[in-house]
Amino acid sequence: MPEVLKEKEQKKLSAKDFASDQDIRWCPGCGDYSILKQVQSVMPELGIPKEDIVFVSGIGCSSRFPYYMNTYGMHSIHGRATAIASGLKASRPDLSVWIITGDGDSLAIGGNHFIHLLRRNFNVNVLLFNNQIYGLTKGQYSPTSELGKKTKSTPVGSLDHPFNPLALSLGADATFIARSIDREPKHLKEILLRAERHQGTSLVEIYQNCNIFNDGAFSTFTDKTNKKENSVYLEHGKPLVFGAELDKGIILDGFHAKIVSLKDDNVSIDDLWVHDETDRNKANILVRFFEDNATDADARPRPFGIFYQEERGTYEDSLSQQLEQEVELKGAPDLNKLLAGANTWKK
């Protein structure tokens, strides 16, 4: 290896090293900027050389992302980043692979590949930018838009019941399920770090504001006045507490989650649901905290953080093991033997 490369390897990288020389073309004020910044800032902390990192995206506003990263990258075709990344990871388990996708890209046109990626459990990270709208095609409803959404393609309201991306992911047996939001950079960065450390497919849904076509879609979770009332931040081993004065909590009554007031004399913090990332049953309940917080007075707060994670062998590890076993069983490859087959004759 040339000297200069050795030096480079030892050089501590900064967020700036991960920014490419390309002008960023998202609309001013787009939530994507914040996500890009956090991804670039988390990269040096991973300790992975930038040539070993690949960002793969599909089509949509968020899918421009790889152009802005000074790593290897592919801006592919609509909905297929998950399938392309599967082949890449199968061929190159040594790489750190990040999939950048949106709600249309991963849940409409790419819905099939999305669920199959999750069940196979390749060790990749999926950042699902959810803005509940089609931005690049200028404002049609998406699979996560709320029922009745009025858009250019649904002037009198959409008839589609929306997907709950995290419930879908859990149903597809994802091994790491998390949610964050563009306006909470510290939280987002922490989740990104945890996602990369998880061995298996890490699904991170990121609420992202499209200030042009769906401005304020997540204002219930970002406006200072009410965000604390409408969101609960999950931490492993900690009780589910929320509210502006941290005066509310969630208790688990059988299979039912209920909001309680800690001001109530009969409830103490010890009675609350303690978050356990490894509990699949509880995760099933948590992902269903999905009421419309803007209109439903009884809505439970929307959870952010890591809902669930489990250890399960990755696809690429199983594949490598299988190939090794086959060498043990059948011996090292011998092309001449293979070409000759079992029966030959001489002329």
Partner 1 sequence: MTLEKENTQVKNVLDKVTILYAGDSGDGIQLIGNQFTNNTALYGNDLSTFPDFPAEIRAPLGTLAGVSGFQINFGNSSIFTPGDLCDVLVAMNAASLKKNLSRLKKRGTIIVNTAGFDKKNLRLAGIDPVDNPLTNSSLEGFKVHEIDITKMTRENLKESSLGSKERDRCKNMFVLGFIYWIYNRSLDSTIDFLERKFKGKQEVLQANLKVLKSGYHFADTSETFSNRFEVKPAEMQPGKYRNIVGNQATALGLIAAAHRSDMNLFYGGYPITPASDILHELAKHKNFGIKTFQAEDEIAGVCSAIGASFGGDLATTASSGPGIALKGEAIGLAVMMELPLVLVNVQRGGPSTGLPTKTEQSDLLQAMYGRNGEAPMPVIAAQSPSDCFEMAYEACRIAIEHMTPVFLLTDGYIANGAEPWKFPSAEALKPIVLKVKDARAEEDAPYLPYKRNEDLVREWAVPGTAGAEHRLGGLEKDKETGNVSYDPENHQEMVKIRAAKVNRIAKHIPKQELDSGTTSSKLLILGWGSTYGSIKTAAKELQSEGVDVAHAQIRYIHPFPENLGEILSNFDKVIIPELNDGQLIKLIRDRYLIDAKGLNKIKGLPFRAQEIKEEVLNHLK
Cβ-Cβ contacts under 8 Å for 161 (sequence gap 6 or more)? 147
What DSSP designation does 147 have? T
- Return the residue of 43, 62, 80, 177 that touches partner 1, per CB under 8 A: 80
Assess 255 for contact with partner 1 (CB under 8 A).
no
Which pair of structure tokens corresponds to residue 344? 């030959």
Span from 54-62, 243-251, 262-270, 289-297 in contact with partner 1 (CB under 8 A): 54-62
By rule CB under 8 A, what string of x and - marks binding of each residue 87-126 to partner 1?
A: xxxxxx-xx----------------xx--x----------
Task: Indicate the residue type of 145.
Answer: S
Exposed/middle/buried for residue 3 (C-beta within 10 Å: 0-12, 13-18, 19+): exposed
Could you say whether residue 21 binds partner 1 (CB under 8 A)? Answer: yes
Site string for partner 1, 286-325 (x = CB under 8 A): ---------------------------------x--xx--
Q: Which of 39, 42, 54, 210 binds partner 1 (CB under 8 A)?
A: 54
Name the minimum Å distance from CB 47 to partner 1. Answer: 15
Residue 233, amino acid: Y
Cα–Cα distance measured from residue 227 to residue 246, given in angstroms and rounded to the nearest whole number: 12
Task: Specify whether the CB–CB gap between 143 and 163 falls below 8 A.
Answer: yes
Q: Does 329 bind partner 1 (CB under 8 A)?
A: yes
Cα end-to-end distance, the chain, whole Å? 52
Quote the least distance from Cβ 216 to partner 1, whole Å.
30
Hey, what are 24's tokens? Answer: 């960023």
Q: Does 35 bind partner 1 (CB under 8 A)?
A: no
β-partners of residue 156 are none
- Considering the rule CB under 8 A, would residue 24 count as an interface residue with partner 1? no
The footprint of partner 1 (CB under 8 A) covers 1-2, 4-5, 8-9, 20-22, 49-54, 56, 59, 66-67, 69-77, 80, 83-92, 94-95, 112-113, 116, 319, 322-323, 326-327, 329-333, 335-336, 338-341, 343-347
